[in-house]
Amino acid sequence: MTRVLVVEDNPQIIRALALNLKARKYEVDTALDGATALRLAAAAPPDVVLLDLGLPDMDGIDVIRALRGWARAPILVVSARHTSMEKVQALDAGADDYVTKPFSMDELMARLRAAVRRTEEAGVGEPVTVATDDFTIDLLAKKVHRGDTDIRLTPTEWQLLEVLIRHPGRLVSQKQLLQEVWGPSYETHTNYLRVYMAQLRRKLETDPTHPRHLITEPGMGYRFEK
């Protein structure tokens, strides 16, 4: 059973999340502050974390950094903070996704399922590295190397790349990429894909204007070629 740690200082929200998660057969631990969350996570490591940033004892960003010191469980931020800078700060600290309050419960659950699915797909039996002529991807450490140089990817760039490399040589549709990386409400936002694919190519391809590994199938989707 998938264990979810819910970190939220609003008792009504934490109750609603716990009820919805338990109804979907998740095992749930709850914490009203950061210190309790870190103690629970150490005692019973969660499979996924739902985290509010506005906690009474410490900032949620510090909770993310503390968890990322040892835990690989996906972290979904659920916060009323809505500026781009605050979202980037959380993602750069190690969060995997960001949902702004007020939120749709269906969308939140879809994003949680996607996060858990990505983690399961990276489990035992999967290759831990993918090597091309130009760069090497370490799936376990979530890092990309070009020779002796580490290539820094944002969490969103990494998620997009990870979906593609899980299907080597196969077309991944625009809809699937948007759903898995951004969530079901972003199915029509194809401009996101163009922007982030351009960023990935600039970082990874030897000649971004003539990509060898991150291939566009016009009007359909994208494909990863080793």
pLDDT at 125: 44
pLDDT at 68: 78
The reported pTM is 0.57
- pLDDT tens, per residue, the chain with 226 residues: 899 999 999 999 999 999 999 999 999 999 999 999 999 998 888 999 999 999 999 999 999 988 877 777 899 999 988 787 888 888 878 888 888 888 889 989 998 998 888 776 655 444 568 888 888 988 777 788 888 888 988 888 888 998 888 788 888 888 888 877 877 677 788 888 999 999 999 999 999 999 999 999 888 889 999 8
Torsion, Cα 47 53 55 61, to 10 degrees, reads: 80
The two tokens of residue 52 are 């509010």
**Rounded distance between C-alpha atoms, residue 7 and residue 30, angstroms:** 6
As a CATH number, domain 129-224 is: 1.10.10.10
Residue 128's CB is within 10 A of a number of other CB atoms, namely: 10
To 10 degrees, what angle do helices 174-181 and 105-121 make? 100
pLDDT at 127: 52
pLDDT at 19: 96
Pairing of strands 143-146, 149-151: antiparallel
Domain range list for the chain: 3-121, 129-224
Architecture of domain 3-121: 3-Layer(aba) Sandwich (3.40)
pLDDT at 63: 93
pLDDT at 185: 75
pLDDT at 93: 83
Q: What are phi and psi of 174, to 5 degrees?
A: -60, -45
pLDDT at 122: 56
Q: Which of 223, 123, 133, 134 is CA-nearest to residue 171?
A: 223
pLDDT at 124: 43
